[in-house]
Structure 1
Amino acid sequence: MRGGFTGRVHPSADGRCRPLSPVVAPGQRADCTQFEPVPERIRVPRTGPGGPRRTPGSVAADKACGNGPCRAHLRRRGIRHTIPEKAGSQAARLREGSRGGCPPAFDEKRYRKRNTVERAVDELKHARAVATRYDEHGYDEHGYDRRGYVWLGTVTAAAPVVRLRT
């Protein structure tokens, strides 16, 4: 796996664009394949007694995560979601007529806030430790190779710095 700008960071983010649970993947990997691992890694400490919060109140995602398995995963966990329906899914549902079911709920006001994740990814990718981690020859300046766990460690170490800056 390559780091820097060719790898992908899939974090969840809070309302203030702070990354919560980064997962890294190769650049050619589809977004929807990382949809389930990201919410599973969320751990938000509580101010009072009790363990960390592990379930988000709601999720806003783009059309890449609008397939059936992603929506079913959110329903199983009881998480409200705002994901636009893909044109192909909408056409198939309409072809089925009354058996096609109701369209998924979509809150446009909530969806406008989805860019918080995009801004969190941008902050992470432009953190110096993450952006300069690898060179074009396959090794970074210290001789480490492009292992996913090495880059995940770098991204995980950069996330609190980004949280403190914002």
Structure 2
Amino acid sequence: MDGRGRPWRDHRQVVNGVLWRLRTGAPWRDLLERYGPWQTVYERFARWEADGTWATLLEHVRVVRDDAVGRGEWAVAGRLHDQPGPPARRRRSQKGAADGDELEDPGRSQARQALGRSRGGLTTKVHLAVDGRGLPLSIVLTPGNINDATAFGQVLDGIRVPRSATGRPRTTPERVLGDKAYSSRAIRHLLRRRGLAATIPERRDQEANRRRRGRLGGRPPAFGKEIYRDRNVVERCFARLKQFRAIATRFDNLADRYRAGIILASLILWLREPVR
């Protein structure tokens, strides 16, 4: 029951409505009648995003579904998703109309909602860390014009899977796989400080600069082609997430709502993984 004493609408019905909207990308107002009033479904979705219910469910499923965190390799990558940018909105001063209206800074508002202008217009970049089976472990959103490497530390810090028994959550992989976007001196130093093995290809300009400096350029970073082939698990994860229309194209104005949809889709991927 809610705070006013009315009984909750059936959770299964509401969650099915949220999943239907996530799969189709339809506006909330177009929700099918069999899922109940669209306002109820949306409010339940927003409430569980705000109080962390969706994230808690995903964390619980990671523990129960016999995850392989800490025993396999993790891959990290970032991709762009199209999102039409919301217009700048006028907001009234708290002191009243006598002080006039203020224009909200569009750039600041967009950055706050993980929107940035790139070649495709206003876009959002989704950064993922996945385990060796391609199941999401960490989700970070940034504006689309932000370089992938800047979010690398946030992605690693976001990995936290509690153990089924006692003990600290698992946060350290055996190896980190990443594409050339993560080939930077800062990232390699970060991984060495944390004692993490890495398989990240060197960019051509970095290789050319190292060779031009001769002995001062140092040795090339270790790279195993056979190991790097396993990095495609993160690409397959993106492909599976894009089966949800509301993730393949961002329709949510609020970044928190969009991220909640990604968490819910990730929860579905974990539930589909067979128990070992």
| TM-score grouping bracket, smaller chain normalisation | 0.7 to 0.9
Give deviations 1:79-122, integer Å, cap 9, x for gaps. Answer: 10000111111111111111211110001111000011111122
**Structure 1 residues 107 and 132, CA gap change in structure 2 (3 angstroms):** closer
Map 1:46-65 → 2, pairs under 5 A: 46-65=163-182
> Normalized against structure 2, the TM-score is what?
0.52
Are 2:188 and 1:81 equivalent residues in the alignment?
A: no
| 1:55 shift after superposition | 1.4
Map 1:13-52 → 2, pairs under 5 A: 13-52=130-169
| 1:19 shift after superposition | 0.8
Q: 2:261 maps to which residue?
A: 154
- Percent identity, please: 44
- State how far apart, in whole Å, the 1-side matches of 2:124 and 2:149 are: 15
Are 2:225 and 1:118 equivalent residues in the alignment?
A: no
- State how far apart, in whole Å, the 2-side matches of 1:131 and 1:99 are: 45
- State how far apart, in whole Å, the 1-side matches of 2:125 and 2:175 are: 23
- Conserved 8 A contact 1:129-1:154: yes
3-state SS of paired residue (2:137): coil
Larger-gyration structure (1/2): 2
| 1:147 shift after superposition | 2.0
Give the gaps of 5 or more residues in structure 1.
135-139, 141-145
- State how far apart, in whole Å, the 2-side matches of 1:90 and 1:133 are: 37
Picking from 92, 101, 126, the partner of 2:218 is 101
| 1:160 shift after superposition | 1.2
Say how many residue pairs are matched: 154
- State how far apart, in whole Å, the 1-side matches of 2:172 and 2:162 are: 12
- State how far apart, in whole Å, the 1-side matches of 2:138 and 2:160 are: 8
- State how far apart, in whole Å, the 2-side matches of 1:117 and 1:9 are: 12
- Conserved 8 A contact 1:124-1:130: yes
Regions of 4+ moved over 3 Å: none
Are 2:272 and 1:165 equivalent residues in the alignment?
A: yes
Structure with greater strand percent = 2
- State how far apart, in whole Å, the 2-side matches of 1:132 and 1:67 are: 30
Give the gaps of 5 or more residues in structure 2.
1-113, 116-122
| 1:76 shift after superposition | 1.4
Map 1:117-136 → 2, pairs under 5 A: 117-131=234-248, 134=251
- State how far apart, in whole Å, the 1-side matches of 2:192 and 2:226 are: 21
- State how far apart, in whole Å, the 2-side matches of 1:79 and 1:158 are: 29
**Could you say which structure has the greater relative contact order, defined with CA pairs below 8 angstroms and 6 or more residues apart?**
1
- Conserved 8 A contact 1:31-1:65: yes
Give deviations 1:39-81, integer Å, cap 9, x for gaps. Answer: 1110123344312101121111011100111111111111100
- Conserved 8 A contact 1:17-1:117: yes
Please, what is the CA RMSD of the aligned residues?
2.0
